[in-house]
Amino acid sequence: MSNEVVETLRNISTLSDMVEAFRGEDHCRQLLEQMVWANGRACPACGYRISTALAGRDLGRRARPGLYQCSNRVCRFQFTVTTRTPLHSTKLPLRVWLTALWFILQSDKGISSVRLAEAIGVSQPTAWRMGHALRLLLTPEDQLAGIVEIDDFYIGGSPRKNADSPHLGRGRKGQPRTTKTPVLAVVRRPEQTQQAAPAGEARARVVADLSEPEARRVLSEAVDLSAHLMSDEWKSFMSIGQAFAKHDTIRHSERQYARGSIHANSAEAFNDRVRRTITGVFHHISPRHADLYFNEIGFRWSQRVVSGQAVRRTRLGRQVIKLLWSRIAPALQLPAVFKSAVGRQLRRTRDGGITIKCAVAVFG
């Protein structure tokens, strides 16, 4: 990515800066090209690194600017910067896309599709799909290593009373204790604590239940085997922990929340943030799309840097040092949003919903 683009993004701090920076369709396209093809333009069909611009050439009708053709002789694929990304065949100007993404990233916990629609002048279903396009762009692919904290929590409200459904059990003998949706959170603890050190990454996934196979499924996808796990003593975690390089646990049952550096406080803080975001912004998210929302919340979590330290006293009078965080400016988060866009595609369904055609980036 050129320094010019970084400079442009760095200069965006206010709303009017953003409007000024995202002026003109050509300008926005060039910004997007620099972010999507940060390592140079690559063909989205075959990954070939050489292609030619067709703009201005007479191909029967004049080719539009931003149209390229792969120079690989067996491929010859014609593409633009949005081809095979979540913005594939969009009818909206790229200026509207960049504005919308800036709006979403600028808000502290996210923005509902209703408010986004009002702010940028599109319909609510369109705004909803734009939000999901962003969340798809933010799907993590690499595995977390280092010190990784895991924790489980539930989302959703208490169930409606229903005379036809049996009473909930107490969580024993296979009876469900709740009808809420269980979620597993995985958070990488920040490695460094000095000024400008980045926050760890955070992931969360909806699970069918808090059983061992489900925990194994999520952890094998999200955590590298070299990781040092920290968790409470939930029994599913206990047996899975053996697969990883190291596993330490704390005993919540004995009201123990930290033993020196052994704790899952980052994961618990992330859980809190997820719950507050859902309650405050989205009110209700369907378990089917919850993982997409978690991508966004996890991305926000990672887009922070240490801005200082403060000495605080605990209720028991002990001194603790708390890290203070500040977030990376929303415009400067955009390159990270687009860094592995190619290959990830959303499709509209007939009923106006979305399906994810592919969530894995190719030719990044």
Query: Which residues would be at the binding site for Zn ion (CB under 5 A)?
Result: 43, 45-46, 48, 70, 72, 75, 77
- Eight-class DSSP state of 108: S
Q: Which two tokens stand for residue 86?
A: 């979540």
Q: Which is closer to Zn ion, CB of 12 or CB of 45?
A: 45
* 216: Cβ contacts below 8 Å, ≥ 6 apart: 240
| CB nearer to Zn ion: pick between 146 and 343 | 343
Identify which of residues 46 and 356 has a Cβ nearer to Zn ion in the complex. Answer: 46
- Nearest 10 degrees: Cα torsion 71, 73, 75, 76: 50
Distance (Å, rounded) from C-alpha 305 to C-alpha 195?
8
- For residue 358, give Cα distances in angstroms to 38, 136, 200: 21, 9, 26
Q: Give me the count of residues in the chain.
A: 364
| Nearer Cβ to Zn ion (70/105) | 70
Which is nearer to Zn ion, 22 or 48 (by Cβ)?
48
For the CB of residue 47, give the shortest distance to Zn ion in the complex, in Å: 7
- The distance of closest approach from Cβ of residue 69 to Zn ion in the complex, given in angstroms and rounded to an integer, is 9
For the four alpha carbons of 250, 253, 257 and 259, in that order, the dihedral sign comes to negative
70 token code pair: 């792969």
**46 vs 145, which CB is nearer to Zn ion?**
46
Report in angstroms how near the CB of residue 76 gets to Zn ion at its nearest: 7
Residues 314-333 as b/e (b if ≥16 CB within 10 A, e otherwise) read: eeeeeeeeeeeeebbbbbeb
Residue 309 to residue 248: CA distance in whole angstroms: 26
Residue 90: CB minimum distance to Zn ion, A:
21
CB of 79 to Zn ion, least distance (A): 8
H-state helical runs in the chain: 3-10, 15-21, 25-36, 94-106, 113-120, 124-137, 212-222, 235-240, 265-277, 287-302, 330-338
Shortest distance in whole angstroms from residue 42 CB to Zn ion:
8
Q: Which residue, 44 or 131, is less far from Zn ion as judged by CB? A: 44
CA distances (Å), 143 to each of 21, 47, 120, 222, 350, in order? 35, 24, 35, 5, 35
- Alpha-carbon torsion, ordered 135, 138, 140, 146, to 10 deg: -120
CA atoms within 13 A on the CB side of 224: 10
- Strand, helix or coil for residue 202: strand
Shortest distance in whole angstroms from residue 136 CB to Zn ion: 23
Rounded to a whole number of angstroms, the minimum distance from the CB of residue 89 to Zn ion is 18
The smaller minimum CB distance to Zn ion, of residues 12 and 43, is found at: 43
Q: Closer to Zn ion at the Cβ: 46 or 54?
A: 46
- CB of 73 vs Zn ion, minimal distance in Å: 10
